[in-house]
C-alpha cells in the first residue's frame, strides 16, 4: 500500500514543481474570460488538459526511446506567448477591458505546451525509470492535479482584488504577462544562443 502512495506523492511533487507557473497563466485566462467571454472556461480546462497531455505523451514516447527531443530547441516555443501578447497589445481597444490574448481551446493548449516545453527534460528520465503500473499512477495524479490547478486559477480569477487589478490595468497587463512568460522561456531554455550561433 505504501508504494502507490509514495508514487502518487512523488508524482504530485514533480507536477507541482514543473507546473507552478501554469497557475499564473490559467488565472490570467480565467480573468480574461470573465471580462471578454473568451476563452470560455471549458476551453481553458480542455486546453490545459490537451497541452499537459501532449507534453506527457511526448515525454512517454521519448522515454521509450521512440523519439529524440532536441535540446534546447523546444525553448523556441516561447515565441508563441510573445507573439500572442504583442498581437493583443497592437489590436487592443481604447477601453479598459482586458485583452483576450487567447480565444480558443487550441490557443490555450498551445500556450500550455509552450510554457511547459522545458518540462519534457524532467519527465523523460522519470518515465524511463517507472514500471507500467507506477507510470499509470503518475498519469492519474497528473490528470487530477490539472483539475486542481484549473480550480485554483478559476478561484483566483474571481477574487475581488485580482478582478479589480485586471479591471484597472488588464488592457496592457494581460499581454505583458504573456510576453514576460515567453521571454522567460526563451532566456532560460538556452535556445537563443544556439539560434544566434546558427545565424552567424
DSSP assigned state of 158: T
* Statement: residue 150 has pLDDT above 90: yes
Summarize the confidence of residues 81-89 as an average pLDDT. 82
* Statement: residue 174 has pLDDT above 80: no
Which carries the bigger pLDDT value, residue 91 or residue 83? Answer: 83
Specify the pLDDT at position 129: 86
Report the chain's mean pLDDT, rounded to a whole number. Answer: 82
Burial bucket for residue 80 (CB in 10 Å: 0-12, 13-18, 19+):
buried
Residues 6+ apart with CB under 8 A from 52: 19, 112, 116, 142, 146
Residues 6+ apart with CB under 8 A from 12: 141, 145
Summarize the confidence of residues 96-105 as an average pLDDT. 68
Which carries the bigger pLDDT value, residue 29 or residue 146? Answer: 146
| Helical axes 105-116 vs 41-63, angle rounded to 10° | 40
Q: Band of the pLDDT at 1, cuts 50, 70, 90?
A: very low
Summarize the confidence of residues 52-63 as an average pLDDT. 90
**Contact in structure between 174 and 96 (CB atoms under 8 Å):** no
Could you tell me which of 79, 56, 58, 77 has the C-alpha nearest to residue 69? 58
Amino acid at each position: 500500500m505504501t508504494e502507490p502512495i509514495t508514487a502518487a506523492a512523488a508524482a504530485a511533487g514533480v507536477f507541482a514543481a514543473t507546473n507552478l507557473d501554469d497557475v499564473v497563466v490559467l488565472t490570467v485566462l480565467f480573468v480574461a474570460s470573465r471580462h471578454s467571454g473568451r476563452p470560455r472556461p471549458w476551453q481553458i480546462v480542455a486546453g490545459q488538459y490537451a497541452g499537459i497531455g501532449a507534453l506527457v505523451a511526448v515525454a512517454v514516447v521519448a522515454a521509450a526511446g521512440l523519439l529524440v527531443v532536441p535540446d534546447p530547441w523546444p525553448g523556441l516555443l516561447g515565441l508563441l506567448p510573445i507573439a500572442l501578447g504583442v498581437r493583443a497589445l497592437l489590436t487592443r481597444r481604447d477601453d479598459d477591458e482586458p485583452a483576450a490574448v487567447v480565444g480558443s481551446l487550441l490557443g490555450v493548449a498551445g500556450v500550455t505546451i509552450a510554457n511547459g516545453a522545458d518540462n519534457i527534460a524532467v519527465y523523460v528520465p522519470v518515465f524511463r525509470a517507472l514500471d507500467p503500473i507506477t507510470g499509470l499512477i503518475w498519469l492519474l495524479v497528473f490528470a487530477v492535479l490539472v483539475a486542481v490547478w484549473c480550480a485554483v486559477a478559476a478561484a483566483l480569477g474571481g477574487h475581488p482584488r485580482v478582478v479589480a487589478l485586471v479591471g484597472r490595468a488588464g488592457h496592457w497587463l494581460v499581454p505583458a504577462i504573456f510576453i514576460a512568460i515567453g521571454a522567460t522561456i526563451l532566456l532560460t531554455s538556452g535556445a537563443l544562443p544556439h539560434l544566434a550561433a546558427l545565424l552567424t
